Every structure is written in structure tokens, then in C-alpha cells.
Amino acid sequence: MSSQEHPLGISFEFFPPSTDAGRDKLMLVRDELAARNPRFFSVTYGAGGSTQARTRDTVRTVSQSGVQTAPHLSCIGSEKAQLRDLLTQYREEGVKSLVALRGDMPSGMGSIGELRYANELVEFIRAETGDHFDIAVAAYPESHPQAANLDRDVENFARKMKAGANMAITQYFFTAEAYFNFVDKARALGVNQPIIPGIMPITNYTKLSRFSDACGAEIPRWMRKQLEGYGDDSDAIAKFGTDAVSRLCQRLLDGGAPGLHFYTLNQSAPVLKVVDNLVG
Ligand code: FAD
């Protein structure tokens, strides 16, 4: 850790913007967040490589801030040769870390590709590039939606950590116990690497609800009731969201979480309000 690094070990995720206005806004957001000395930034990757060029452009843009930036990379629907080319390009561009994922097959897309699960992608990256990259993988404290149950999912998670990942970042969740339970289960299977909680700010209940259904993140009943009660009052939703997410983050840190990774949705204000509420 550099002496400059934020004491809570925070990191921030962006998605590749698709418009000029989105790109301009992201540069402002990048600078505001870089000023907090995060450990790293990361940039998402579209299913089946659909944002490959935009992910690379965005990595270049956000890394100009001087913050180490990790592209996400998914293997589903890709051939090894394509992945090899991308790894070579990233190496040439000075990228030092990656978030390695299986991804989801876009509907209507043909072949699954040569690598079926994230553990195979981690093995592939290690075989092709040795220790060049720090590799993060995804973890699901409330279970991946396709997993038979949490225990099977943790076994699969342990497999990809043992394939050579350096750390994990979790799917977002709103129940701290789910995270601690998942970490206990992973440690029992011999996983010693850091498991960083992924944190989703609450700003728009309709979008959050739709997204949570798709990715299997549970919005607890008490939170749903409260958020539904606010209707269209976006100020009340934002205030409730800041309070609830700040309390969650503080519990995670107090319970030993080794950092926090924020899903920024390319906005700085909601995550900074949370960060500013936290104490180390
Ligand atoms: P895997 O770890 O391969 O797991 C997928 C499923 O297969 C699980 O149910 C698991 O239990 C099971 N499984 C795993 N290995 C095996 C095995 N060897 N044998 C049998 N079953 C197995 N999506 C994007 O499209 N772009 C992104 O940039 C992106 N970033 C993300 C970042 C984070 C931090 C997280 C948590 C998710 C992200 N996702 C992203 C979503 C992710 O792509 C999906 O959740 C996807 O469905 C699973 O990817 P994975 O890498 O977790 O898959």
C-alpha cells in the first residue's frame, strides 16, 4: 500500500460510456474519485466482448489520472486466440491488473467459446502471461443465480481462487451477514486471498430493483418497504440510501473487510457521500 492510499482501501468501478457527453462526464468523475487516492479503478466489459474497444479506451482515459486501472475481461463467447490478443494489447499498454470473469452469454449469440468458467480463464491468463497481471475474480455472498446452492457456489469460487487469482470482489449485497458467512465458508475451503465487498449506492429504486432481480442480490424487505414508501421522492431515496449503505460499509469494515469496491455507475456524488461517512 502506498503511503498516499486512502486508509480504508477503497476502489471504484466504471462502465465504458457510449456518448461524448458520457465520456466528458466520466473524466470529471474520474478526477474527483482519483483525489481520494483509491487502490485502483476498474472498467467493465460488455457481454461477449461487445464493449471491448470501449473498455480499452476507457481504461486508457481513466488511467491517465495515475490510478492503476484494471479492465474486466470475460471469456464466454470468446476464442483463446482473441483473449490472447487482448492480453498482449493490455500488456503493451502497461496494464498490470485484470478482473477475470466468465460473463453471460448474450441472447442470440452463437458459440460459448473455448473457456466455460472463470477458473479456466484464470488458468489461461496464468499460462499465457505468468505473474504479469494481478487477477481479481467475482464472488457472490448471496450465491450466483445459476448455482445449485451457496455451498456449491463457494466450491466453484474456491476453484478459481486456487487457479491463481490474487483477490476477489463481491457482487453487491445489503446484508452484512451474507458477506461474513461467505468469507467464513471460503476460508474453510482454504481461500486466503482478500475478498473485497462490492458496494452499490442506492439512488434509483426502480433500476436497483430490476438489476437486483437479474443478478440475484437481495434487497431486504425492510429496505424495499422503506424505498417503495418514498415513491418518486428522489431526495428521500438518496438520503435513505446514503444512510443505509454507510451503515453497511461501516459494519463490514468493523468486521474486518479488507477494503470496499464501489460500483459508481459513473457518478461520484453518491459514493463520496458514503465514503465521507466512514471511519477507519
Ligand atoms: P464463474 O465463476 O465461472 O461462475 C458462473 C457459474 O458457474 C456459477 O454459478 C458457478 O457456481 C458455476 N461454476 C463456476 N465454475 C464452475 C466449474 N468449474 N464447473 C461447474 N460450475 C462452475 N459481467 C459482465 O458482462 N461484464 C463485467 O465487466 C462484469 N463485471 C463483474 C464484476 C464483479 C465484481 C461481479 C461480481 C460480476 C461481474 N459481472 C460482469 C457479472 C458476471 O459476468 C456474471 O455474474 C456471470 O454470470 C458469472 O461470471 P463469473 O466470472 O462469476 O463466473
Contact 219, 209 (CB under 8 A): yes
Instruction: Return the closest-CA partner of residue 65 out of 97, 105, 34, 104.
Output: 34
**Using one digit for the tens of pLDDT, what is the confidence trace for 8-19?**
999 999 999 999
91-126 residues labelled b (16+ CB within 10 A) or e (exposed): eeeebebbbbbbbbbeeeeeeebebebbbbbbbbbb
Name the residue of 15, 69, 99, 102 whose CB sits within 8 Å of the most ligand 1 atoms, as the mutation to test its pocket.
102
Using the mean position of ligand 1's atoms as its centre, give its distance from the Cα of residue 238 in Å: 29
Name the residue of 14, 156, 265 whose CB sits within 8 Å of the most ligand 1 atoms, as the mutation to test its pocket.
156
pTM score: 0.97
Using the mean position of ligand 1's atoms as its centre, give its distance from the Cα of residue 45 in Å: 13
| DSSP letter for each residue of 130-188 | TTSSEEEEEE-TT--TTSSSHHHHHHHHHHHHHTT-SEEEEEE-S-HHHHHHHHHHHHH
Q: Is 13 considered catalytic here? A: yes
User: Residue 5 pLDDT more than 70?
Assistant: yes
**Using one digit for the tens of pLDDT, what is the confidence trace for 48-78?**
666 889 999 999 999 999 999 999 999 998 9
Report the atom number in ligand 1 closest to the C-alpha of 145.
9
Average pLDDT over residues 130-135: 98
**Using one digit for the tens of pLDDT, what is the confidence trace for 73-100?**
999 989 999 999 999 999 999 999 999 9
93 Cβ contact partners less than 8 Å away, ≥ 6 residues apart: 56, 59, 60
Q: Whose CA is nearest to atom 45 of ligand 1?
A: 103
Q: What is the pLDDT of residue 49?
A: 65
Residue 1: band (very low, low, confident or very high) from pLDDT cuts 50, 70, 90: very low
Using the mean position of ligand 1's atoms as its centre, give its distance from the Cα of residue 250 in Å: 27
- List, in sequence order, every beta strand (DSSP E) within 36-90: 41-43, 69-74
Average pLDDT over residues 243-257: 98
Distance, in Å, from the CA atom of 203 to the CA atom of 60, rounded to the nearest integer, reads: 28
